[in-house]
Amino acid sequence: MQIAQPVNTIALRRRMLIRAGLTLLVIACGLGLRWYGFPLGLPALVVKYGGSLLWATMVFLLVGVLLPRLTRRQIAAIAIMIAVLVELSRLVHTPWLDAFRLTTAGALLLGRIFSLWNLVAYAVGIAFGVWLDRIAAMRGLLGWAKAR
C-alpha cells in the first residue's frame, strides 16, 4: 500500500506560472515567425514548419499548465494526441469548420491543409517543449526537487 504524498500547492502554482510564461513566449515567437518570417527573407520551410513546431510546443506547455501534476511523458503523450487529432481534423470538411479555418484564429489554431510533415514538426515541437520544461526544472524554476 502506497501513501499519497502531500501536495505542494506552492510548487504546483509556480510550475503552472512558469509554463504559462513559456507558453506566452512561444506564442509570441510563433506569431512573429508567421508574420515577419517572409519579410525577413526566411525560407518558406522555416516559416511553415517552424510555426508548426512552435504550435506543438505551445500545446505541450498548455497541457502542462492545465495538468501540472502529470509527468513530462504524460504531458507529451496528451500533446501528441491533441496534435494528431487536430491534423486529422483537417481531413474533415463542413461549411462551419471550413469557414472557421479561413479566419486568422482558425488558421493559427487548426490549420487548413492536412500534411504528414506537420506531424513530424509536431513531434519535434513537443520534444522541444519537453526540453524547455526540463531546462526550467534543472534551473529550479519549476520547483521540482529533481528533473523528471
The model's pLDDT over 66-125, given as tens digits with 9 standing for 90+, comes to 999 999 999 999 999 999 999 998 898 899 988 998 998 888 888 888 889 999 999 999
Per-residue confidence (pLDDT) for residue 113, from 0 to 100 = 82
**Is residue 145 over pLDDT 70?**
no
Name the residue type at position 139.
R
Better pLDDT: 139 or 74 = 74
**Is residue 30 over pLDDT 90?**
yes
Lookup: cell for 76: 507529451
Name the residue type at position 1.
M
For residues 41 and 57, give the distance between their C-alpha atoms in angstroms, rounded to a whole number.
24
Percent of the chain topping pLDDT 90: 66
